[in-house]
Structures are given as structure tokens and as C-alpha cells.
């Protein structure tokens, strides 16, 4: 039991980092969207994952040795698809805000990212386990639906001026479409982690610390995602002629923006660094292991809504709206506890 609690706390710390990663981006000055998105991506999807992967390299070996015996096509390929979700994920924050945007996108990501690997890998699993896993996802989706309902109530109560004061580029319809696409494609990250299991096993066999053995797989997936995002950002640079953003040194804006992009990248990466460590404490609980992706996404939603409240994205909402938000968050918390009721399965 204590191992499960420890794993949950580690994943929660990483989730808190991810949910906080969009706060530094709000501090970016003068740059176009494609400029800060690309720079934070260098840190989030290349630099910090590479540093994390190096922690899994045993003494006398190299990262390439861990990759040598396994195919990278699956993790990188799913990473490319996940990159599409990453692009639209950022846009969902832009149009809906941190709270509602993350809730909807992460809800879809959680459902697809949990159920697809379970159906692919656990075809011979007991029917009771499959039903419990489906129930976990269903409870989580119910919580997300209630949070989405709270967002719609807020939308009805606020004037256009009030919406844009809280969220500068607020656009409900466009944001909903983008968030649903983001969530569906973002689920490919977990599929990439599943496809990279041979790499993780190779790292363990070579003597890597089990806490960090998933990190080389994470690097492969994020590298594929960086490729997608970089292509799109470069295309926007050419279209908008925004490449000179990186040359702007007035008022120390270049160093200022790079530092905040680095902070955003570090916070974002912490969710998967924490996931890899936290899952090692679930090795004696197949249900918690299978549900770990949904746990991370549910925690991301909880913390992102907390940030939404702190950043006054819910300012002006009435008691009914806040009540619906509280109920939705309570349901999500219950979805995290539900697998423990079936810990012996």
C-alpha cells in the first residue's frame, strides 16, 4: 500500500510541474506564438529528456547501446503523431484557457491513452479486470464532463469583454474542436511508451536504475514530437516572417524569453520523468500500472483547474458554476482512488 502511495505522490509532483508549465509562457514578451513554442520545445522535448535519458545509462555504456537492440520506429512514429496533439494542445490553452482547455484535451488523451494499450496488450486479461479499467476511465470521463459543463455555464454568464479579459484569445467553438483533436492525438504518447518497452527492458538488463529506465523511451517519443512541432513552427516563421524574434535584444527580451521557455520546458518534462519513477512503485499492482496514464492525466486536470482559479479564469462565475467545478474535481479524485478498491486484481 505504501508503495502505491509513494508512486502516486511522485506522479503528482510531476503533474504539478506540467500543469504549471503554461504559467511561464504567459511571461513571454514580444515573440510570436511559433517562436516561444519552438524554443520551449527544444528544452521540453530534446534537452531535458536527453538529460533524463542519460540517467538510465549504466557505467561503461552509452545511450546508443540501449537503443541498439530495439527498434525506434514505434516510439518515434507515435511521437510524430503525438506532436500533432502537442501543437493543438497549445492552441487549446490559447482559446479556452488553462483550466477548460487542459480539462477537455487531457480527458480525451486519458481515455484513448489508457484503453487502447489495454485492449492491445491485455487481450487475455480477466474480464473483471477489463471492466474495472473501463469503469475507472468512465468515472474519470464523467468528472471531465462535469468540468466541461461548468465551463459552459461560465461561458453563458460572462460577456465577451469579460471572457477576453480572462483569456485574451477566447473562442469557445474553435477551442472545443482543437481541444478534442489535441486529446485524441496526444494519446499517442502512451502508445509510444508501450511500443518502446523493449528499450526499457534493455536498459534494465544492462543494469540501469529501474527508476530511470523509462527515460530513454520518453526521449524517443519526444524526439518524434519535436520533429512535427519544429516543421510547423518553421512554416509559420516563413509565413509570418517572425524568425527575427530570436534577434530581438531590446530590454533583455531574448534572455528573458529563453529563461522562461527553459522553465516551461523543465516543468512540462517533469510529468513524464515523474511517471517513469512513479510506475516503478506499481510493479506489484497490475491495475495501478494499467491505470497510471489516466492517473497522470487526471492529476493534470486537477492541478490545471487549480491554476485556472488562481489566474482568475473563473472570476465572475456564479455559485452553480463553481459548484459544478467542485463536483467534477471530486469525481476525478474518486477516479484516482477507485483502482485501489480492486488492488488484489
pLDDT in the model for residue 101 = 67
Helix, strand, coil fractions of the chain, as percent rounded to 5: 85, 0, 15
pLDDT in the model for residue 343 = 47
pLDDT in the model for residue 337 = 67
What does each of the 345 residues of the chain score in pLDDT, given as a tens digit? 778 889 999 999 999 999 898 789 889 998 998 999 999 999 999 999 999 999 999 888 889 988 987 889 999 999 999 998 877 776 776 677 656 666 667 666 666 666 666 656 555 555 666 677 677 778 877 887 787 788 777 767 666 565 555 555 666 677 777 877 777 787 788 889 989 999 999 899 888 899 999 999 999 999 999 999 999 999 999 999 999 999 877 778 999 999 999 999 999 999 999 999 999 998 887 777 877 887 887 788 788 778 877 877 777 778 888 898 889 888 877 876 676 555 444
pLDDT in the model for residue 120 = 60
Q: How many residues does the chain have?
A: 345
The alpha carbons of the chain give a radius of gyration, in whole angstroms, of: 20
C-alpha cell of 224? 518524434
pLDDT in the model for residue 344 = 44
Give the whole-angstrom CA distance, residue 219 versus residue 47.
9
pLDDT in the model for residue 279 = 93
Neighbouring residues of 344: CB distance < 8 A, sequence distance ≥ 6: none
Give the whole-angstrom CA distance, residue 229 versus residue 82.
10
Closest CA to 223 of 52, 70, 36: 52
Q: How many CB atoms are closer than 10 A to CB 4? A: 17
> CA angle, corner 182, sides to 133 and 280, nearest 5?
45
Give the whole-angstrom CA distance, residue 190 versus residue 198.
14
- The answer to whether the CB of 84 falls within 8 A of the CB of 185 is yes
pLDDT in the model for residue 334 = 81
Q: In this structure, what are the phi and psi dihedrals at residue 129, rounded to the nearest 5 degrees? A: -65, -40
Distances (CA, A) of 219 to 44, 191, 215, 216: 10, 14, 6, 5
Give the whole-angstrom CA distance, residue 220 versus residue 202.
14
pLDDT in the model for residue 341 = 59
Amino acid at each position: 500500500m505504501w508503495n502505491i502511495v509513494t508512486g502516486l505522490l511522485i506522479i503528482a509532483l510531476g503533474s504539478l510541474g506540467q500543469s504549471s508549465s503554461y504559467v511561464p509562457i504567459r511571461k513571454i514578451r514580444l515573440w510570436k506564438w511559433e517562436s516561444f513554442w519552438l524554443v520551449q520545445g527544444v528544452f521540453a522535448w530534446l534537452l531535458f529528456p536527453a538529460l533524463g535519458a542519460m540517467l538510465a545509462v549504466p557505467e561503461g555504456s552509452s545511450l546508443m547501446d540501449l537503443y541498439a537492440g530495439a527498434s525506434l520506429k514505434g516510439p518515434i512514429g507515435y511521437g510524430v503523431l503525438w506532436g500533432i496533439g502537442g501543437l493543438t494542445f497549445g492552441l487549446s490553452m490559447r482559446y479556452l484557457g488553462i483550466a477548460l482547455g487542459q480539462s477537455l484535451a487531457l480527458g480525451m488523451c486519458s481515455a484513448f491513452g489508457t484503453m487502447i494499450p489495454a485492449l492491445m496488450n491485455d487481450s487475455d486479461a480477466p474480464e473483471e479486470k477489463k471492466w474495472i479499467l473501463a469503469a475507472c476511465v468512465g468515472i474519470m470521463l464523467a468528472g471531465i464532463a462535469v468540468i466541461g459543463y461548468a465551463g459552459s455555464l461560465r461561458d453563458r454568464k460572462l460577456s465577451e469583454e469579460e471572457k477576453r479579459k480572462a483569456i485574451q484569445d477566447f473562442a469557445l467553438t474553435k477551442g472545443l474542436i482543437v481541444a478534442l483533436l489535441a486529446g485524441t492525438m496526444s494519446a499517442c504518447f502512451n502508445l509510444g511508451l508501450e511500443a518502446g518497452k523493449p528499450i526499457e527492458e534493455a536498459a534494465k538488463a544492462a543494469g540501469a536504475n529501474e527508476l530511470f529506465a523509462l527515460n530513454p523511451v520518453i526521449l524517443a517519443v519526444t524526439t518524434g514530437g519535436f520533429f512535427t512541432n519544429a516543421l510547423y513552427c518553421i512554416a509559420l516563421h516563413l509565413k509570418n516572417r517572425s524568425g527575427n524574434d530570436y534577434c530581438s535584444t531590446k530590454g533583455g527580451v531574448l534572455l528573458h524569453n529563453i529563461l522562461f521557455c527553459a522553465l516551461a520546458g523543465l516543468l512540462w518534462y517533469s510529468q513524464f520523468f515523474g511517471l517513469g519513477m512513479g510506475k516503478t512503485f506499481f510493479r506489484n499492482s497490475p491495475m495501478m500500472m494499467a491505470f497510471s496514464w489516466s492517473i497522470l492525466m487526471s492529476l493534470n486536470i486537477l492541478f490545471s483547474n487549480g491554476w485556472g482559479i488562481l489566474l482568475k479564469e473563473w472570476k465572475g462565475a456564479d455559485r452553480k458554476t463553481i459548484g459544478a467545478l467542485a463536483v467534477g474535481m471530486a469525481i476525478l479524485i474518486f477516479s484516482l482512488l477507485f483502482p485501489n478498491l480492486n488492488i488484489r486484481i
